[in-house]
Amino acid sequence: MTLLEGSVGVEDLVLLEPLEQESLIRNLQLRYEKKEIYTYIGNVLVSVNPYQQLPIYDLEFVAKYRDYTFYELKPHIYALANMAYQSLRDRDRDQCILITGESGAGKTEASKLVMSYVAAVCGKGEQVNSVKEQLLQSNPVLEAFGNAKTIRNNNSSRFGKYMDIEFDFKGFPLGGVITNYLLEKSRVVKQLEGERNFHIFYQLLAGADAQLLKALKLERDTGGYAYLNPDTSRVDGMDDDANFKVLQSAMTVIGFSDEEIRQVLEVAALVLKLGNVELINEFQANGVPASGIRDGRGVQEIGELVGLNSVELERALCSRTMETAKEKVVTTLNVIQAQYARDALAKNIYSRLFNWLVNRINESIKVGTGEKRKVMGVLDIYGFEILEDNSFEQFVINYCNEKLQQVFIEMTLKEEQEEYKREGIPWVKVEYFDNGIICNLIEHNQRGILAMLDEECLRPGVVSDSTFLAKLNQLFSKHSHYESKVTQNAQRQYDHSMGLSCFRICHYAGKVTYNVNSFIDKNNDLLFRDLSQAMWKARHPLLRSLFPEGDPKQASLKRPPTAGAQFKSSVTTLMKNLYSKNPNYIRCIKPNEHQQRGHFSFELVSVQAQYLGLLENVRVRRAGYAYRQAYGSFLERYRLLSRSTWPRWNGGDQEGVEKVLGELSMSSEELAFGKTKIFIRSPKTLFYLEEQRRLRLQQLATLIQKTYRGWRCRTHYQLMRKSQIVISSWFRGNMQKKHYRKMKASALLIQAFVRGWKARKNYRKYFRSGAALILSNFIYKSMVQKFLLGLKNDLPSPSILDKKWPSAPYKYFNTANHELQRLFHQWKCKKFRDQLSPKQVEVLREKLCASELFKGKKASYPQSVPIPFHGDYIGLQRNPKLQKLKGGEEGPILMAETVVKVNRGNAKVKAHTWTPTPQPDPEPWLVAGRISSVGSKGEFLLVSEHVIELLTKICRATLDATQMQLPVTVTEEFSVKFKEGSLTVKVIQGPGGGGTGKLSFKKKGSRCLEVTVQ
């Protein structure tokens, strides 16, 4: 939005045409009627009290003004607060916000708006919020105890307040310090008609519950208290009850303990009750007037409330101890004096309580040492006051306002014009009223009114308000801003409005007539020591702490500084403080005297505009330059706007500034180059510069962001890539591992199956089909074992002839058994053979041969077997007679026996016997002959007892000699060829069959021979 577009009147009076007092007021009026209560004069804010709630303070507005610079939006107190806060935060400049104006013009409201705006924009966080809360909540507490309804303002601050809000380098609030100036304590005991005492008393009576009231020994009815104006107990639109609750919660938020809150309320109650202590005339015995208390109950209750001996309190109220270095004199007080003492006590208690409260709040909101802070001071001091009857309080209040006006003049009008001169800027001086002369009149160290007052207070001898006035009259008779009856008379002026006990000062804001009554007293501000001592004796910790001088040990005879001197010094400190900061002005204007909305009194506003010097302000502003700054800091701020000065500039500051502004092609009218500073005429140009700077900053920020983001994205990308590689390698690895595991598992499974299958196969082999075999084998083996062992133990005798052999236990051993039997037999035979001598062997061979020849062929063979072959049956060898039978034949004799020869002729049997040997012969028959000679005589037939032996030996001998087997025929019927013919021989088995072998021959015919075997 541009400055003029859609605005009501002009928003900045600098643009006003024509520039006159009237047009200025009309412009304000026009705007006021359209509810535009704020107007600028450059960067000074003029605020006209709307006396109504306007919808321009909500969060939306806060947000709006926070984002725009001063001239971009409609004039608003938020714009000013924002400018101050941003300058504090961004340029590191301590700020002060000076709010001036008459009582009821809206200063306190303005200060609260500034604070709430700053609180809303200055950072967030739990810690910060609690600091903000504490700072904001100090307002309701101080207002309850320091504000009161006056005729001009229902919520008039009856004290001056300067609050320093402290911030850290980021612009976050850390805490603060409150300084209070001179509470109007006379209000505690007396109020003008239509005014009220301090709010707290009404809030307490309306808001405290019955229990609390009882504890404080109070009654709800405000009419029952002498210190409360009976005709004005309520204020329109003010809810004392609700405000009391607000007060209590605010105190809690700030950090007051419940005990502290209770004690504060007790002291407030004490003040109220003190007002009800009624004093009456009494006389001492010697007729000297004295005073006493009408009803002891009030004092009694006070005593109980604060732990004070009521008798002591009564004595302190009604008498006074004069103490000199040598002696102590107690004098009684008359009723007026006693009332004065009581009221002085009440005022003192209350004002000290108020100071205590401020200190207590400061304790809570103070900032720890060591932190570097930036400070924003907000000054809300009582406005200029012109009452019907102006007293000491109005005097100091107006003095203070005079001083503030001086600050304004110094910093805006005077200083500005002087600066142009200093800087060599062409300048036509703008006339304005410099109130330095009035300030001097009041505060001059030797010849000022305050100095005179102090002098009167300290001067020995008779001192009164009138001697003080006389002194003033004498000293300032020629002063242009001082008047009194005496000076008027001297100039032969007649002014019935001027009382005899009055003097008048022409303040910057108008003439004010002060009544000197009680000036001395109020300046002395002395409390009788009896009273402070009595208070100190109270058991109530808070009350006691308010009167440290009551401690007899601390008692000093030195006078405390006077109220005026104190005030002056605190104002001086304040001024010093304000001069050290960057000022921001809010000029509050009261539109009417009746606190009425929408009503704009042209005259009233004219007066204010005049004394506030608004017109001069506009003139200086218009002729001058809206903005100035040293080249160095200007260059520092704006050098980024030019390529030649950014990022590095090596030339001089002024040169650099010229470069920057030259490149921006500013019109030369807009600029003035001073010796050390650059001056910029219109705020628009500054705004333009700021806008350019903002854009450039954005560009730079974008550049930084771009680079940073690029870097971040790159690093992020690299990180992601790395991570991706790690992840994918892990993933792949994992997949492969999984795959491998799967394969392994499968292989194992297959293996297991195969092995299982093999095992099962084996198992089947070994178990299912083999078990029976194994078992049967085992059983079989054990049976075999058993059988063999049994056999071993039960072997038959080794005799060959013993054919016994145990039968097999089982049938299937039969074969084996037979074999074993056979083996055993063979073994027995072998054994038998082995032990045979060769002779026996020979015998047996012969037997064997016999067996081969006859076994099975000859019936008598079996009987022959056991009979051994003797060969030489006749003893041929040993008998030499028989040797001739041998026929000279060499070698052994095969056989020699007696045989029966069948006669070849008749076939008679004749025994041929040789001399038998003596020994018995089992076979008496023996045949000897030469077989080779058969033929010529025919064959021969021999009967031999040992035919088998005989034949065997013949066969053997033949075999040995000729290798020919002799044919042997065994028959039962054969024929023999004899010389005469052949003979048939028949062998017949005898009937006996006894086996004796006895033969009997019987010739049957010629050709048959029957042989019967017995």
Question: Which listed residue (9, 106, 173, 298) binds ligand ADP by CB under 6 A?
Answer: 106
Give the integer Cα–Cα distance in Å for 179 and 570.
9
Give the nearest distance from C-beta 34 to ligand ADP in angstroms. 15
Tokens of 53: 């709630």
156 labelled catalytic: yes
Q: What is the side-by-side order of every strand in the sheet holding 899-902? A: 909-911, 899-902, 941-944
- The catalytically annotated residue of 7, 47, 139, 157 is 157
d(C-alpha 537, C-alpha 544), whole Å? 7
Q: Is 351 in the site for ligand ADP (CB under 6 A)?
A: no
Q: Which is nearer to ligand ADP, 397 or 615 (CB)?
A: 397
Name which of residues 552 to 591 contact ligand ADP (CB under 6 A).
Answer: 588
Decide: helix, strand or coil at residue 225.
coil
Query: For Mg ion, which is the closer residue by CB, 49 or 533?
Result: 49
Using the minimum distance from each CB to ligand ADP, give the nearer residue, 46 or 313.
46
Q: How far is the CB of 383 from Mg ion (least distance, A)?
A: 7
Min dist. Cβ of residue 143 to ligand ADP (A): 9
d(CA 63, CA 120): 9
Is 102 labeled as ligand-binding? yes
Interface positions, 149-188, toward Mg ion (CB under 5 A): 157
Residue among 595 and 606 whose Cβ is closer to ligand ADP: 595
Active-site residue flag, 383: yes
What track of x and - describes contact with ligand ADP for positions 364 through 383 (by CB under 6 A)?
A: -------------------x
CB of 158 to ligand ADP, least distance (A): 10
DSSP SS3 for 461? coil
Taking the C-alpha atoms of residue 576 and residue 563, their distance in angstroms, rounded to an integer, is: 20
DSSP SS3 for 52: coil
Q: Is the peptide bond before 18 cis (omega within 30 degrees of 0)?
A: yes
Catalytic residue among 385, 443, 456, 483: 385
Residue 599 backbone dihedrals phi, psi, to 5 degrees: -100, 125
Nearer to Mg ion, 45 or 265 (CB): 45
Three-state DSSP class for 508? coil
Interacting residues with ligand ADP between 136 and 165 (CB under 6 A): 153-157
Region binding ligand ADP by CB under 6 A among candidate stretches 45-53, 360-368, 957-965, 966-974: 45-53
Is 518 a catalytic site residue? no
The CB-of-49 to ligand ADP minimum distance in angstroms stands at 5
Write out the H or E segment, with its range, that includes residue 901.
strand 899-902
Annotated active-site residue in 27, 49, 103, 513: 103
Q: What, of Mg ion, ligand ADP, none, does residue 53 touch, CB below 5 to 8 Å by kind?
A: ligand ADP
> Annotated binding residue at 105?
yes
Q: Which is nearer to ligand ADP, 55 or 905 (CB)?
A: 55
d(CA 76, CA 65): 8
Should residue 394 be labelled a site residue for ligand ADP when binding is judged by CB under 6 A?
no
> Around Cβ 895, how many Cβ atoms within 10 Å?
24
153 is catalytic: yes
The 3-state DSSP class for residue 939 equals: coil
Smallest gap, in angstroms, from Cβ of residue 268 to Mg ion?
21
The only residue of 31, 74, 76, 107 in contact with ligand ADP, by rule CB under 6 A: 107
Q: Which of 146, 175, 383, 613 is catalytic?
A: 383
Q: Which is nearer to ligand ADP, 160 or 207 (CB)?
A: 160
Nearest CB to ligand ADP, comparing residues 78 and 679: 78
Look up 933 and say whether it is catalytic: no
DSSP notation for 319-342:
EEEEE-SS-EEEEE--HHHHHHHH
Residues in Cβ contact with 818 at an 8 Å cutoff, skipping those fewer than 6 apart: none
Phi, psi of 172 (to 5 degrees): -90, 135
Residue from 53, 445, 497, 668 touching ligand ADP (CB under 6 A): that is 53
Residue at 882: amino acid letter? L
The encoded tokens of residue 958 equal: 């033949």
Is 107 among the annotated ligand-binding positions?
A: yes
Nearer to ligand ADP, 262 or 597 (CB): 597
Q: 944 exposed, middle or buried (CB, 10 Å; 0-12, 13-18, 19+)? A: buried
* Residue 149 falls in which region: left (phi positive, over 0), alpha (psi -120 to 50) or beta: beta
User: By rule CB under 6 A, what count of residues binds ligand ADP?
Assistant: 21
Secondary structure class of 40 (helix, strand, coil) = strand
SS3 of residue 557 by DSSP: coil
Residue 805 touches which of ligand ADP, Mg ion, none (CB < 5 to 8 A by kind)?
Answer: none
Give the β-pairing of 289-293 and 279-283.
antiparallel
| 385 annotated active-site | yes
Beta bridge partners of 720: none
Binding mask 93-132 for Mg ion (x = CB under 5 A): --------------xx------------------------
Positive or negative torsion for Cα 283, 284, 290, 293: negative
Residue 782 identity (one-letter amino acid):
S
CB of 155 to ligand ADP, least distance (A): 4
- β-pair partners for 628: 679
Q: How far is the CB of 87 from ligand ADP (least distance, A)?
A: 23
Non-local CB neighbours of 444 within 8 Å, separated by 6+ positions: 451
Contacting residues toward ligand ADP, per CB under 6 A: 49-54, 101, 103-109, 153-157, 383, 588
Active site residues: 103-104, 108, 153, 156-157, 383, 385
Contacting residues toward Mg ion, per CB under 5 A: 107-108, 157
Binding residues for ATP: 101-108
Binding residues: 101-108
